[in-house]
């Protein structure tokens, strides 16, 4: 019998090792971090609070998949210094989904409200980005209704760094 066949482990061993590996990773890499006080109710930083219109705007933000291009986390790195204060876990305590994101095709929006204070300019930007920022690569959102644009602008202009530091 060839070595590979002779040394083959029985089915139960493969299934057992798989379950053990996944359970270990799930327990130590998911459950344990999720139960860390640093990401729970005692997390540093203040949670964001939203008005009803901002909540509606946030739903539109999720619906249109804005989180695929914009992150909402100022990282603890030199490159992120101009964005605002470093984001702490407490900032996200009211956030589901958390919209932290992975990729910046567009700029980070954690503290967008501190840069985009005017709601009407933000609406104008969303309808036709290059009319506000020449050469912008952001797609137009002119297909949104006026109410939806207002709600989305209310959400974006309400994103501030207050209480975000860790």
Partner 1 sequence: MPNPPARLPTTREGMMRRRSEMQAVMAELKNRFVEPILGRFPRILPTKPDSAARYALYAAVVWFFVWILLAATLAIKLVFPEFLHQFAWAGYGRLRQVEMNVLLWGVLFTGGMGAAFAIIPRVVGRQLWSERIGAQLVLLHVQLVLAGTVLLSLGRTQGIDGLEWPWPIDFGLMAVMLGALQVLMTTIMRRPDKPLNPPAKFLIAAFHVLPITYAVANFSAPFTIGVKQTFYSGFGSAGLMLGLSLIGMGATLFALPRATGNPLWSGQVADWTLYLMLFTLPWLGLAQRVLGPAPDWTETLGIAMALAALTPAVFALALVIGTARGGRSDDPAVPFFIGATVLWSAGIAQLAIGALRHPAGILGTTWWNEGTRTALQGAFGLWLIGLVYHLIPRVRGRALRNPALVRAHFWLSVSGVGVAWIAASAAGLIQGYVQSVSAQASGTFVTGEGWNRVYGAVRPMLGIRMAAGGLIVAGVLLFLLNVQRSLAEGHDVEPDVVAPALVGSRG
> Restricting to residues 4-23, which ones interact with partner 1 according to CB under 8 A?
4-11, 14-15, 17-19, 21-22
Contact present, 74 and 84 (Cβ < 8 Å): yes
CB of 106 to partner 1, least distance (A): 7
Residue 29 in the binding site for partner 1 (CB under 8 A): yes
Residues 88-117 that bind partner 1 (CB under 8 A): 88-89, 91-108, 115-116
Kindly give the interhelix angle for 52-63 and 146-157, rounded to the nearest 10 degrees: 100
User: Of 66, 126, 154, 156, which one interacts with partner 1 (CB under 8 A)?
Assistant: 66
Nearest Cα neighbor of 113 from 65, 45, 52, 57 is 57
Residue 108 or 150: which CB sits closer to partner 1? Answer: 108
Contact present, 47 and 92 (Cβ < 8 Å): yes
Residue 135 is encoded by which pair of tokens? 């050469």
CB of 53 to partner 1, least distance (A): 19
């Amino acid at each position: 019998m060839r070595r590979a066949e002779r040394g083959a482990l029985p089915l139960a061993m493969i299934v057992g090792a798989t379950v053990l590996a996944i359970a270990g990773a799930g327990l130590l890499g998911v459950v344990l971090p999720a139960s860390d006080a640093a990401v729970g109710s005692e997390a540093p930083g203040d949670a964001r609070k939203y008005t009803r219109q901002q909540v509606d705007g946030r739903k539109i933000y999720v619906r249109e998949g804005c989180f695929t291009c914009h992150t909402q986390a100022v990282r603890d790195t030199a490159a992120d210094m101009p964005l605002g204060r470093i984001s702490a876990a407490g900032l996200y305590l009211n956030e589901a989904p958390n919209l932290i994101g992975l990729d910046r095709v567009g700029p980070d929006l954690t503290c967008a409200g501190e840069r985009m204070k005017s709601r009407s300019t933000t609406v104008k930007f969303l309808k036709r980005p290059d009319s506000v920022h020449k050469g912008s690569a952001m797609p137009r959102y002119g297909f949104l209704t006026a109410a939806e644009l207002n709600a989305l602008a209310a959400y974006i202009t309400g994103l501030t760094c207050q209480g975000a530091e860790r």
